[in-house]
Amino acid sequence: MFNTALTFSRSKVLGGLAAALFAATSFVTTALAVTPEEIKAKGTATIGVQMDQFPWGFIDAKGGNDGFDIEIAKLIGKELGVEVKFERITGQNRIPLLVNGNVDFLVPSMTITEERAKVIQYVIPYSSNDITVWGKTDAAIKSGEDLGKYVIGVNRGSAFDTLLVKTAPANTEIKRFDDDATTVQSLLSGQVDAILGSVTYGLVIKQTGYDKQFERKFKVADNFQGMAVRKGDTEMLAFLTDFVTRHTADGSLDAIYKKWIGVDRAKLPTTLPGVDFTGKQ
C-alpha cells in the first residue's frame, strides 16, 4: 500500500519549510544540554538515524538496524562505552526530535544547509551524497527545464524537496512522499516519471532489478552531510568533531563509506558559507 502523494504549489512548499523551522526553533529554549559524560553516566546513547534510506540506514532481513549511518553510530557508541538506542527519524521529524530532547544527537545523512544551521548545530561533514535526478529510461530529461514536462516525485520536507522547487519550472507537477523508500517506490510503480534525491537511489533501483527501466539523468548539486547536536551542546559537538577528524585521518570513515556506498568518499570541506561548525556563534 503506497502513501497518498500530495501536490503542492511553490509558495506552499516554501511556507511549509519556514513553518517547520519555526516549530523546531520553539523547542530550543527548553532542550537540555547533553555531554559525553552525561551519556556515559546513563549508559545509553539515543541516536537519531534514518531506517528507510538504503544504504545509509535500513532494517535488514533479520529485523536489525544496518547501513552506513548505523555502523557510524555504533562506532560512536563504542567509543563512549555505552549501549546505542536507535530512534527512527524522517525528513519531517528529525529536527524537532533533536531540539526537543528526544534524541541525544543525530547521525542522519542530512544535508547541511544554512537554514537548518540556524536551528541546530552541525558537526563538520562526515559524508557526501550527490543530489541526482532518476527517471524512466525513455524520458527526455537532461536539465532542470525538462522537469516541467513530467511528474516528479520527492521526499517531502527534505533538502531534495527545497532544491527541486528551485530547479524545476514553476508549473512542474510535483508529488511528495513521506520518506526515501516511498519516493523510490513511486518511480518503480509508475506513479511518477522521475524523482530527485540521493545518488544512492540507484543502488535500490539496481537491487530490485529495475536498472534497465530507469537511469540516472543528471546531477543537480553537491550534498555535504553532517551529524547534528543541539545549540549549546558544545562538549558533544567537540567530541563528534574529534571523532570525524580522527577517523578521517585514520581512514576508517573512508573504508565504511566504500563498503556501503560503493565509491570512494570525497574529500570533504571543514568550512561552508553561512554555516558555523565551531558552536561559538
Domain check: are 109 and 183 in the same one?
Answer: no
Domain check: are 46 and 162 in the same one?
Answer: no
147 is in which domain, residue-wise? 130-221
What are the start-end ranges of the E strands in 27-142? 44-50, 52-53, 57-59, 65-66, 83-89, 105-106, 121-122, 127-128, 131-136
279 domain-assigned: no
Edge-to-edge strands, sheet with 57-59:
52-53, 57-59, 65-66
Q: What is the pLDDT of residue 27?
A: 42
Q: Which residues of 105-114 are buried (b: 16+ CB within 10 A; e: fewer)?
A: bbbbbbbbbe
24 domain-assigned: no
pTM above 0.85, yes or no: no
Domain check: are 40 and 105 in the same one?
Answer: yes
13 vs 30: CA distance, rounded Å: 28
Domain check: are 202 and 135 in the same one?
Answer: yes
Domain check: are 65 and 42 in the same one?
Answer: yes
| C-alpha cell at position 210 | 529495475
80 vs 59: CA distance, rounded Å: 24
Domain check: are 118 and 251 in the same one?
Answer: yes
Q: What is the tally of structural domains in the chain?
A: 2
pLDDT in tens, the chain (281 residues): 333 333 333 344 434 444 444 444 444 433 456 899 999 999 999 999 999 888 999 999 999 999 999 999 999 999 999 999 999 998 889 999 999 999 999 999 898 999 999 999 999 999 998 899 999 999 999 999 999 999 999 999 888 999 999 999 999 999 999 988 899 999 999 999 999 998 889 988 998 999 999 999 999 988 899 999 999 999 999 999 999 999 999 999 999 999 999 888 989 999 999 999 999 87
Domain check: are 157 and 144 in the same one?
Answer: yes
Domain check: are 119 and 136 in the same one?
Answer: no
Domain check: are 228 and 217 in the same one?
Answer: no
Domain check: are 35 and 121 in the same one?
Answer: yes
Q: What is the sign, positive or negative, of the torsion defined by CA atoms of 5, 202, 1, 67? A: negative
Query: What is the DSSP pairing of strand 44-50 with strand 105-106?
Result: parallel
Is residue 97 within 8 A of residue 110, CB to CB? The reply is no
Q: What is the pLDDT of residue 175?
A: 98
217 domain-assigned: yes
Whichever domain contains 215, its CATH number is 3.40.190.10
* Local structure of 120: helix, strand or coil: coil
Domain check: are 54 and 165 in the same one?
Answer: no
Domain check: are 187 and 104 in the same one?
Answer: no
50 domain-assigned: yes
22 domain-assigned: no
136 domain-assigned: yes
Closest CA to 164 of 132, 141, 140, 199: 132
Query: What is the DSSP pairing of strand 57-59 with strand 224-225?
Result: unpaired
197 domain-assigned: yes
